[in-house]
């Protein structure tokens, strides 16, 4: 599936549909799932409709036994030994952003 060609809303709906499909494969009702994760059934309905909080998604994935799929969803970034030596154990805290190669021309 080409997620880049989809709108954000379409991706949310697709993820909700996949969560619903996973719940149905586990043969759980929305009520059973909401009881298991101690959330309201409206939270489960919202998740399956693509309108949920990230914390709801995490709780539901944990209950459905699919939390390990987050590794393939957003893999952990590994650092090269050369970069590690340059940083001397320090983790990056900020992004540098892009810098202009030419200073801005002031009309004054």
pLDDT (tens digit, 9 = 90+) per residue, 47-56? 999 998 999 9
Render pLDDT for 76-94 as a digit per residue (tens, 0 to 9).
Answer: 777 777 776 776 656 666 7
| pLDDT over threshold 70, residue 101 | no
Q: List all residues 6 or more positions away from 33 whose beta carbon is below 8 Å from its beta carbon.
A: 23, 44, 60, 63, 64
Alpha-carbon distance of 36 to 56, in angstroms, equals 12
Domains of the chain (ranges, CATH numbers): 3-73 (1.10.260.40)
Render pLDDT for 14-70 as a digit per residue (tens, 0 to 9).
Answer: 999 999 999 999 999 999 999 999 999 999 999 999 998 999 999 999 999 998 888
pLDDT at 56: 92
């Amino acid at each position: 599936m080409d997620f880049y060609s989809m709108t954000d809303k379409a991706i949310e709906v697709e993820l909700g549909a996949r969560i619903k499909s996973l719940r149905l494969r586990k043969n759980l009702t929305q009520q059973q799932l909401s009881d298991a994760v101690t959330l309201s059934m409206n939270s489960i309905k919202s998740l399956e409709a693509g309108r949920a909080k990230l914390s709801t998604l995490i709780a539901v994935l944990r209950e459905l036994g699919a939390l390990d799929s987050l590794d393939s969803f957003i893999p952990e970034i590994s650092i090269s030994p050369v970069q590690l030596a340059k940083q001397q154990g320090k983790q990056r805290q900020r992004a540098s952003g892009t810098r202009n190669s030419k200073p801005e021309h002031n009309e004054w």
